[in-house]
DNA sequence: ATCAAGATTACCT
DNA sequence: GGTAATCTTGATA
């Protein structure tokens, strides 16, 4: 049951579409992270879309800079940024090359290796149920648990270090669509998506 | 050279 | 529910 190695990897075609579509369709897919020769599997539970052209909250709204240049690569790369002096956040780059769009990964349900994730997050093992949720129910928590930082910025998701595989396709009624978190500009766009009944979601409506 | 803002989190009341 | 922590980045001079 925990053998995701035979599941089909998401194609470049999947990523090279509009970020709002990709954000919704990433829900339920399984994020795979190779770390110290072990594979970590996590079900994607919460996402947000960002777009260069019509989204003032996007890092790319005012054009290309050294920081955001990875967002202009073709869909299917990982964009990692540093913020608030402490935190890394990971995004899936979407759309064609030179279009600065991406999907922020905000929540994941860990499916294996919880003790290692716990070490990375809290420097201990033996989790309460509450701490288990707190492992990966936020964008910076995911990166801390999976040791994702500047080194992972620009990774190609069609290769073997980090990738995403097919899994369940949630029913429409199991997906909540709402506004994005933690932004002031373009704050009314309904571009956040999460799995309604899943606990690994940062904020529920 | 200086400065304000930031796609967050943890901890407090 | 409110806020301090913490530092990189991009804009402006």
A43-69 tens-digit pLDDT: 999 999 999 999 999 999 999 999 999
**A153-198: pLDDT as tens digits:** 999 999 999 999 999 999 999 999 999 999 999 999 999 999 999 9
Residue A14 pLDDT = 98
- In angstroms, how far is B7 C1' from A144 CA? 16
**What six digits make up the tokens of A201?**
């979601």
Please give the pLDDT value at position A2: 73
Asked if residues A104 and A50 have their Cβ atoms less than 8 Å apart, the reply is: yes
Is the Cβ atom of A21 within 7 Å of strand B at any atom? no
CA(A141)–C1'(C2) in Å? 21
Tell me the average pLDDT across A62-88: 98
Mean local confidence (pLDDT), A92-121: 98
Can you give the pLDDT at residue A1? 63
The reply to whether the CB atom of residue A20 sits less than 7 A from any atom in nucleic acid chain B is no
Is strand B within 7 Å of residue A29 (CB)? Answer: no
Q: Is the Cβ atom of A91 within 7 Å of strand B at any atom?
A: yes
For chain A, list the strands marked E by DSSP: 30-35, 38-50, 78-83, 87-93, 102-110, 162-165, 175-178, 192-195
Predicted confidence (pLDDT) per residue in A4-52, tens digit: 888 999 999 999 999 999 999 999 999 999 999 999 999 999 999 999 9
**Strand C nucleotides within a 7 Å radius of protein CB atoms:** 5-11
Nearest residue to B5 (CA, C1')?
A84
For the whole prediction, is pTM greater than 0.85?
yes
**How buried is residue A54: exposed, middle or buried, by Cβ count under 10 Å (0-12/13-18/19+)?**
exposed
List of protein residues whose beta carbon is under 7 A from strand C: A 62-63, 65-68, 82, 84-86
């Amino acid at each position: 049951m925990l053998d995701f190695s035979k599941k089909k990897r998401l194609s470049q075609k999947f990523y090279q579409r509009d970020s709002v579509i990709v954000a919704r369709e990433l829900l339920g897919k399984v994020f795979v992270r190779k770390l110290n020769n072990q594979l970590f599997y996590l079900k994607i539970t919460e996402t947000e879309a960002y777009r260069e052209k019509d989204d003032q909250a996007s890092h790319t709204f005012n054009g290309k800079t050294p920081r955001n240049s990875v967002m202009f690569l073709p869909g299917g790369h990982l964009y990692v940024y540093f913020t608030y002096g402490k935190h890394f956040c990971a995004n899936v780059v979407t759309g064609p090359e030179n279009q600065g769009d991406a999907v922020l990964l905000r929540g994941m349900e860990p499916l294996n290796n919880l003790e290692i994730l716990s070490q990375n997050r809290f420097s201990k093992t033996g989790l309460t149920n509450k701490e288990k949720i707190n492992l990966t129910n936020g964008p910076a928590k995911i990166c801390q648990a999976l040791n994702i930082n500047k080194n992972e910025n620009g990774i190609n998701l069609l290769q073997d270090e980090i990738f995403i595989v097919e899994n369940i396709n949630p029913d429409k009624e199991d997906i909540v669509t709402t506004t994005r978190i933690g932004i002031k500009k373009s704050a009314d766009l309904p571009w956040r998506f999460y799995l309604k009944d899943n606990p690994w979601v940062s904020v529920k409506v």
